[in-house]
Amino acid sequence: MNSRRIFLQKASASAVAISIPYLPSFSKPLSENEEKSSQSDKVLRVAIMGLGSYGTRVAKAMEDSNRAKLVGLISGTPSKVEAWKEKYSIPDKNCYNYDNFDAIKDNPDIDAVYVITPNALHKEQAIRVAQAGKHVICEKPMAINAAEAKEMVEACDKAGVKLLIGYRMHFEANTLKVVNMRKTGEFGTIKFFQGLSGFMIGDPTQWRLNPTLSGGGAMMDIGIYSINGARYMTGEEPIWVTAQEVKTDPVKFKEGIDETITFQMGFPSGVIASCLSTYSMNNLDKFFLNGTKGFAEMQPSTGYGPIKGRTNQGPLDEPHIMHQTVQMDQMAGIIFDGVEPEIPVDGREGLKDMVIIDAIFKAVKTGEKVLLV
């Protein structure tokens, strides 16, 4: 946080630019022999790092997964490990704490580690997992800034392992239906996107309201959905951002924790996105995409329950499957079979969102338009 604040304080009063770091792609198509030998039914054996509420959700999702199985635990709380061991029949040799989990290097039972810890811990933990030779699945936001995200991508490339980000919406059926309608031109020329992301946060002592652990407030936790959604719904990358912050409770939302930020993004074609990120309002979670021939609106647009909405052609009514179950099955395909998802979920995709978040924080600080170049 301190480095981010120092960086922001040095920003000039005029429009400033944030460079998107160049990272060469190390992915390659499967050869004919590799394609033939790929195992479409191979199960991804996962250790969960961080046994909190979302870790619990992912574990439950894997109970119904065809291609992913919970086989290991990493936690700093021994009582949680004991309870999970019993519930999921995890052997002692697959259980670790935050000090000794580097030993997974010598454990052939584990293919990947899903990092579900506070944001500020992601970089170090993901890099250690990569150095142990295991694939990394990291919950969003992947880091607390773009510099850290870039380090994670480079470390996983160097180790020759996959880095995937927990973008569950990239596999959700109604979301993919809208994206495909946009791709086939059914909405015409896209002109506008609106993303409203937020809820009233509770317990003021939780880690999400601790700037040292979270790296920010609502933007990191929930606003990132509107950033990411704007990108996959429009099919473009933003070239500038502007942003404004409102803070009504400086005690609960201390320095470094944003309460409410409205932000705008401009895209190369002229599309404008108008978005809201907040920890002090409910009844949001809405996406709206408008084109010259039609529209799509979704509410809820990113929640855990069924995604609901409609387009100019009728209701969105694809069947609902627990998002994390679909995500884990699809990630097994990415890791083992070289499957390319409709919407990327790799580390470079996560890095793009972190570049935009950095730019939004800079726009709040300077009051100026920040260019993304």
> Which residues are CB-neighbours of 340 under 8 A, at least 6 positions away?
334
Burial (CB < 10 A; 0-12, 13-18, 19+), residue 64, is middle
The pLDDT value recorded for residue 226 is 98
At 252 the three-state DSSP class reads coil
**Distance from C-alpha of 354 to C-alpha of 235, rounded to nearest angstrom:** 18
The yes-or-no verdict on residue 59 having pLDDT over 90 is yes
Decide yes or no: CATH 3.40.50.2000 for domain 169-320+345-372.
Answer: no
The yes-or-no verdict on residue 160 having pLDDT over 80 is yes
The pLDDT value recorded for residue 39 is 56
The pLDDT value recorded for residue 345 is 98
The yes-or-no verdict on residue 348 having pLDDT over 50 is yes
The pLDDT value recorded for residue 197 is 98
Give the pLDDT mean for 289-314.
Answer: 98
Average pLDDT score over the chain: 93
At 233 the three-state DSSP class reads helix
**Distance from C-alpha of 73 to C-alpha of 222, rounded to nearest angstrom:** 26
> Which residues are CB-neighbours of 314 under 8 A, at least 6 positions away?
none
Give the pLDDT mean for 296-319.
Answer: 98
CA distances in angstroms from 138 to 83, 165, 217, 347, listed in the order given: 23, 5, 19, 9
CA distances in angstroms from 63 to 66, 84, 261, 325, 328, listed in the order given: 9, 13, 37, 8, 11
Residue 37: how many CB atoms within 10 A of its CB?
A: 9
Give the pLDDT mean for 180-201.
Answer: 98
Q: What is the pLDDT of residues 123-144, one digit of tens each?
A: 999 999 999 999 999 999 999 9
Residue 9 confidence class, pLDDT cut points 50, 70, 90: very low
The yes-or-no verdict on residue 3 having pLDDT over 50 is no
215: left (phi over 0), alpha (psi -120 to 50) or beta: left
The pLDDT value recorded for residue 7 is 36
The yes-or-no verdict on residue 37 having pLDDT over 60 is no
pTM (predicted TM-score): 0.92
Secondary structure of 127-146 in HEC code, one letter for each residue: HHHHHCCCEEEECCCCCCCH
Query: Would you say how long the chain is, in residues?
Result: 373
The pLDDT value recorded for residue 369 is 98
At 221 the three-state DSSP class reads helix
β-bridge pairing 190-198 and 286-291: antiparallel
Residue 181 confidence class, pLDDT cut points 50, 70, 90: very high
Q: Which amino acid is at 183?
A: K
Token pair 């933003």 in the structure block, residue? 238
**Distance from C-alpha of 173 to C-alpha of 226, rounded to nearest angstrom:** 18
